[in-house]
Amino acid sequence: EKIEFNSKNYEKIEFIYGIAIKEIKHKLEILKEEYKMFYDYDLIDHISERIKSKESISKKMTKKGIDFTYSKMIENINDIAGVRVICPLKKDIYTIRKLITNLPGIKILKEKDYITNPKKSGYSSYHMILEVPVTLSKNSVYVKVEVQIRTMAMDFWASLEHKMKYKNNKDASKNVSKELVQCAKIVNKLDNKMLLLNS
């Protein structure tokens, strides 16, 4: 069936992705509170979420040459539902990653470590594509959610880089790109220093 972004069918799909976000966010909030209560440690600073915009989905499908059908969208676009977990220290990223892999019922489809291997732009974050079980009145389905885990410093860099890209018509000049890579290196040094101070 062809995608109609303004149809009731699309709203239903969005609703199900929204439930998947609530499910994983709830589990992460519990972990956050547990670490505070039992270990007096702020493992997670905050959690944010979003559903990918119709424009972004459409662009991504066009770019990848994917047929505009609901089944192809669900199969190929892994980040329609997105959750971002922001933590204080670099080591916390791997603790959170391990805790997520141990969550009952959650399937891990894919992982990408952009902390050990940052992108050329300097972007650093840990990405996980999960399948989250969503229980509805008549059936249960697995829904894909992308989880990004990063430190506050990495998040600060990423949000500024995003703003600058859009300000410069998405085509940041070579000088700006170079400066951003330099800033990313400084952010990494800062993260490493904070880790030492906290060890």
Dump pLDDT digits (tens) for 75-133: 999 999 999 999 999 999 999 999 999 999 999 999 999 999 999 999 999 999 999 99
Q: Which residues contact 98 (CB under 8 A, 6 or more apart)?
A: none
Q: Cα(187)–Cα(114) distance, rounded to whole angstroms?
A: 14
Contact criterion met (CB below 8 Å) for 171 and 103? no
What is the value of pTM for the model shown? 0.93
Model pLDDT, residue 166: 65
115: nearest Cα among 123, 103, 106: 123
Model pLDDT, residue 174: 78
- Return the axis-axis angle of helices 152-167 and 174-198, rounded to nearest 10°: 170
Q: How confident is the model at residue 170 (pLDDT cuts 50, 70, 90)?
A: low
Higher pLDDT, residue 170 or 4:
4
Q: What is the mean pLDDT of the chain?
A: 94
Q: What is the mean pLDDT of residues 51-69?
A: 96
Q: What is the mean pLDDT of residues 31-47?
A: 97
158, exposed or middle or buried, with CB in 10 Å at 0-12, 13-18, 19+? buried
Model pLDDT, residue 161: 87
Distances (CA, A) of 145 to 84, 99, 106, 132: 10, 16, 10, 7
Q: How confident is the model at residue 168 (pLDDT cuts 50, 70, 90)?
A: low
